[in-house]
Structures are given as C-alpha cells and as structure tokens.
Amino acid sequence: MDQKFNLWFTEYQTNDMALSCRVKKTLHQEQTQFQNLAVVDTDQFGRMLLLDNVIQTTIMDEFVYHEMITHVALNTHAAPKRVLVIGGGDGGAVREIVKHPSIEKVVHCEIDGAVIEASRKYLPEIACAFDDPRVEIVVDDGIKHVRNNKNIYDIIIVDSTDPVGPAEGLFSASFYSDIYDALKEDGIFVAQTESPFFNRDLIPRLYRDISGIFPLTRLFLACIPTYPGGLWSFTMGSKKYEPLDVDVAAIPQMDTRYYSPAVHRTCFVLPPFVKELLK
C-alpha cells in the first residue's frame, strides 16, 4: 500500500500555535556549539533548515526572504560595492547580493560554521555563492565584527534567527549604533524584523531604536508562508538614500521571482494595522 509515513515536524510559532509538516526524511541532525541544527526533506516545502526547531528557510519559499532582504537595499544604494551579511549561514542572502554587478566584496559573518557546512551539503541551491571570489566567509560573532570595523561597508544585512537565545543581541540599540559606525557615510542597513501579527511589541521598539540612530527608517513587508503569520517585516535604516525615491524604471532586469521594480515600491505600502505599530 502506498501510504506515507506519519512522521511530522512541529514548530511552536507562539506558545499557543504551531505549524506542522510531514517529514519525508531527516537528512541531517547535530548539536552545534550554538544550537540544534537539522535539515529535513518534506513534500510540502522541500528541504527545510531548522535551528532549535525553528524553520529558518525552505526550498519552496526561501526566494522571497532572500530577495527581499537584499535587493530592496542594494537597489536603493547608488553603487554598492562592499556588503556585510551577519547571520544567514544558509548563503541565500549572499547568493542574491552577488547578482549585482557593482559588488566587489561580500563579507559573510556567521557565528556558527556548522550552518554553513550543512547548507553547502544539503541546500546547494541556496548555498551556491560561497565560492564566488568576491565572498569572504568569517566565522565569528557579528556583534564583535561590527564593533571592530568602522566606516567600511555600503550595506549591512542582518539575517538573524528570532530574537531569543544566540540572536538576542542582534536586536539591540547598541548593535544598531555599531552598525551605523561600520557603514560609510551613505550606507544602508536592513534587518529581518519578524511578524507584524505576533511581534507587536518588538517591531515598534526596533523601529524606534533604528529611528534614533539613522536619519531615515523604513519598514517593508513580504509574504513568507513558513514564517509565523505568513506576513513578514524588514526594517531599513539609511544614512542618505530614500528607497521610495528610487527610479524603479531604471532598475536593471534581475533574475528574481518575488522582487521586481514594482515590488520595490509596493512593499513599502503598509496596511493601517502595521502603520499603527510605527507611530
């Protein structure tokens, strides 16, 4: 009989809600120095990367997150050359960044080298740009890295896990202020900033912190089905460039499936319940 095994993975997205998904096969599982890491294969979402039982990325919807956390900022900057990615050990953000011809250097600072290794092996379509000659991998704490680097990056992207455990410090005002200093005078910073439905305390706090440091703060949205609530937020801090002033007609044709010149504009259109959070 052709019956599927009844093995399921469950992420508790809040204390009172979970997302469950049938697992075809567990490809990898280990306890790293920092967290529990697993890669499982599913019929619904394809292979998924799990850290401490939280879905980080899946083959089915990773493009949304990785395109949006990179191209909105990269196309807002006039000529980004040097980019820093903090976190994002799966390599999806790096893969998108190297699509931009102006890029000379991407420093990828990930605290847990085991995430990079597992992604190379089990998520090759995401981790496919690590060997690009412009990419330098630094296995280190991003907080330390920005503290020790001043005035050198055009763009800094914080592709973190949820604000609990190892990533907590990546959601702090002192970290944002070190990011400001690590950026050049026209630099741009972007972070993933969680769900407008379920992180209604966090988003206003981050928005306020970032607005206190950067002259321009903008929040934008994208739809990511495997994240809590599906609707996801990103927050940008910019020293000079206004993302809404970009001449979207001049954005070069890019190989993307969610981001487009039109989406560059529409992602900043916020429903009233999200605007409300930023007052």
Q: Per rule CB under 6 A, is residue 161 in the interface with ligand AG3?
A: yes
Among positions 96, 110, 112, 162, the unique one binding ligand AG3 when judged by CB under 6 A: 162
96: contact with ligand AG3 by CB under 6 A:
no
Does position 54 bind ligand AG3 by CB under 6 A? yes
d(CA 82, CA 104): 6
Q: Which is nearer to ligand AG3, 14 or 26 (CB)?
A: 14
State yes or no: is 140 an active-site residue. no
Residue 72 interacts with ligand AG3 (CB under 6 A)?
Answer: no
Tracing tokens 């801090």 back to the chain, one arrives at 237
Which lies closer to ligand AG3 via its Cβ, residue 13 or residue 35? 13
Q: Which of 228, 238, 259, 267 binds ligand AG3 (CB under 6 A)?
A: 228
Site residues (CB under 6 A) for ligand AG3, limited to 192-211: 192
Neighbours of 55 (CB within 10 A): 21
Per-residue DSSP letters for 14-75? ETTEEEEEE-SEEEEEEE-SSSEEEEEEETTTEEEEEETTEEEEETTTHHHHHHHHHHHHHT
Q: Which is nearer to ligand AG3, 62 or 209 (CB)?
A: 62
Q: Using alpha carbons, list the distances in angstroms from residue 218 to 99, 196, 276.
A: 24, 14, 14
Number of residues that bind ligand AG3 (CB under 6 A): 15
Q: Confirm or reject binding of residue 56 to ligand AG3 (CB under 6 A).
A: yes
Q: Report how far residue 48's alpha carbon sits from residue 60's, in angstroms, rounded to the nearest whole number.
A: 9
The CA distance from 82 to 215, in Å, is 21
Please tell me whether residue 233 binds ligand AG3 under the rule CB under 6 A.
Answer: no
Q: Which residues bind ligand AG3 (CB under 6 A)?
A: 13, 54-57, 65, 88, 90, 92, 159, 161-162, 192, 227-228
Could you give the residue numbers annotated as active site? 159
